[in-house]
Structure 1
Amino acid sequence: MTSVKKMVARKTIERRTGVALWRQITDRIRLAIGNGEYDATGMVPPETALAREFGVNRHTVRSALAALAEEGLVRAVQGRGTLIERKDRVIYPISRRTRFSAGLGRQVKEIGSSLLGHSKVQASGEVAAALALPPGSLVVELQTVSSGDGRPLSATVAYFPAERFPEMAQQYARLGSVTKAFAAQGLDDYVRVSTEIVARHAGAAELELLKLSPGAIVLEALSVNADLDGRPVEYSRTRFAADRMKFRIET
């Protein structure tokens, strides 16, 4: 790493933000791995080099590397150093017909989806507006986690008009797919109307659901799907693990 890069990296470590130094360093190393900065060796730089780069002691660096090891991103190898176990992100295409399973395609061998909870609730103002429903209308709320090859990739809270899709939770639990659950209730096709994406640090619940270390980044997508007549059928808030996913916008 050049001296300029060292200066930039050190400047990104803030000592008065309330975020622990090791968490900040975890983020920087994770980002560097994702950007391919260590591809030449396949190894994270030695602890002494990282401590010098970030202007901290080796104990702080060890804490950061331990967090990355818990995520399965790196592995300590006796006599060699810290090996990068995994750097590839899954590409998730966002298009007119965005489908989780179809989008992952052959990138993973096994796609999983778990229904964590469901209920019928009165739509908040935000949900009602997104689904073009009168305020207070009943909606079906699903809380799900999706994974690829056993690795959590996203956590979603989705809302569906309860009058039109009263069995959404039961069908999803049976079929493990929103698309299949729609089809079981008479909706054979739907399209993506809008997607808004922001990046932020993961909250406590997201750290647990996605098995992330403190300080990890999630990409949060707010999405609306509609039937072919333009009637909204789903509003969702999905948090993707940023170090495991990247988006490709298809037009």
Structure 2
Amino acid sequence: MVERGSGIAVWRQIGELLAADIRKKLYEPGEQLPTESGLAQRYGVNRHTIRRAMAELEQEGLVRIEQGRGTFVQEHAIAYAIGKRTRFSENLQRQGLPAHGELLGKQKLRNAEAANHLGLARNAQLLRIRVLGRSGKRAISLAEHYLDAERFPGFAEQFETLHSISKAYAQYGISDYTRKWSHITATLPDAETARLLGQPKTRPVLQVEALNVDSRGTPLQYGITRFGGDWVRLRVGDDG
């Protein structure tokens, strides 16, 4: 417990006690810590003292503080390989992590930039699907995928059933596809992206714009995927 008059600041003692609990796995990665008021009551201090302790733990990389949500034990970053064959499920499963793609929405539209990347006429009808990639309860990525609506009728429904882009493509006779190029930038998320990824708007995300092609080199899928910057470490040019 906290010892007043020990020569060590009370907030530092509290930080050390919580750090020890985290290292002992009393709080699991991603788990929310008790509230400021709850910790203040536990240690018999005011909330300002707890805030000071939490700020120190955040500096040490043991926790992350999310405005309006609370304080969470920091997870280890997931190594996400971007190479010739980039697969969400395989990337996570190689690390013993569960993987799940959740369909957020589908829409038929016209988008000149996406159509150009796909080698289609500017006014070609495209299918856009929005997918939230999860590992367990944690949101890892938010992706927008553009495909030729005529070439892949019912693709969104296939994905919704199979929860996998690769498995959905297999229903159209496409057993393999490769990444032609990827462009990676860091950018601040909009409000919806931040909400879905469970992070503050002030924390950058890693944005990957990419084009996948089939075995003949024909453009297959153009997309933009945004990864939580603190939770994913991109590894370029490596499929495993």
Shift of 1:105: 2.3
Runs of 4+ in structure 1 over 4 Å off: 57-65, 70-75
Choose the corresponding residue for 2:115, options 128, 135, 142.
128
Q: Aligned in 2, Cα 1:70/1:108: closer, same or farther, shift over 3 Å? A: farther
Give the match for residue 201 of structure 1.
Answer: 188
* 2:215 equivalent to 1:241: no
Counterpart secondary structure, 1:97? coil
Residue in structure 1 matched with residue 43 of structure 2 by the alignment: none
- Three-state SS of the structure 2 residue aligned to 1:126 is helix
Task: State whether residues 64 and 74 of structure 2, in contact with CA within 8 Å, keep that contact through their aligned partners in structure 1.
Answer: no
Match for 1:118 among 106, 123, 128?
A: 106
Change (3 A) 1:219 1:61: farther
Q: TM-score, normalised by structure 2?
A: 0.70
Rg larger in structure: 2
Q: Aligned letter for 1:68?
A: R
Residue by residue, what CA displacement relative to the aligned partner does 1:141-192 show, whole Å, maximum 9, x if unpaired?
1011001121000001100111111111110011111101100111111100
Pairwise mapping of residues 1-251 of structure 1 onto structure 2 (< 5 A)? 68-70=64-66, 74=71, 85-122=73-110, 124-250=111-237
Provide the secondary structure at the position in 1 that maps to 2:152.
coil
1: distance between equivalents of 2:123 and 2:166?
26
Alignment RMSD (CA, Å): 2.9
> In structure 2, what is the Cα distance between the partners aligned to 1:249 and 1:106?
16
The letter for the 1-side match of 2:185 is: V
Tell me if structure 2 keeps the 8 A contact 1:73–1:87.
Answer: no
Question: Are the aligned partners of 2:141 and 2:228 in contact in 1 as well (CA < 8 Å)?
Answer: yes
Decide whether the 8 Å contact of 1:74 with 1:86 is kept in 2.
Answer: no
Cα deviations across residues 39-65 of structure 1 (Å, max 9, x unaligned)?
xx96xxxxxxxxxxxxxx989968976
SS in 2 for 1:107: coil
TM-score of the two chains, using structure 1 as the length reference: 0.67
Asked if 1 retains the 8 angstrom alpha-carbon contact of 2:132 and 2:143, the reply is: yes
Q: Residue deviations 1:99-158, cap 9 Å, x none?
A: 111111242432121101001112x22101110101010111101100112100000110
- Between the aligned partners of 1:178 and 1:236, the Cα distance in structure 2 is 12
1:87 Cα offset (Å):
4.0
Counterpart contact for 1:108–1:148, Cα < 8 Å:
no
> Contact 2:92 / 2:98 at 8 angstroms: preserved in 1?
no
Give the 3-state SS of the residue equivalent to 2:156 in structure 1: helix
Q: In structure 1, what residue type is equivalent to 2:213?
A: A
Tell whether the 8 Å contact from 1:120 to 1:141 is kept in structure 2 after alignment.
Answer: yes
What are the Cα deviations for residues 189-243 of structure 1, in whole angstroms up to 9, with x where unaligned? 1100010010012210111111112311100110100001110010011000000
Match of 2:35 in 1: none
| Identity percentage of aligned residues | 30
The whole-number CA distance in structure 2 between the counterparts of 1:59 and 1:88 is: 24
Query: CA 1:200–1:141 in 2, change beyond 3 Å: closer, same or farther?
Result: same
- Label 1:207 to 1:63 Cα distance change in 2 as closer, same or farther (>3 A): farther
Gaps of 5+ in 2: 1-18, 24-47
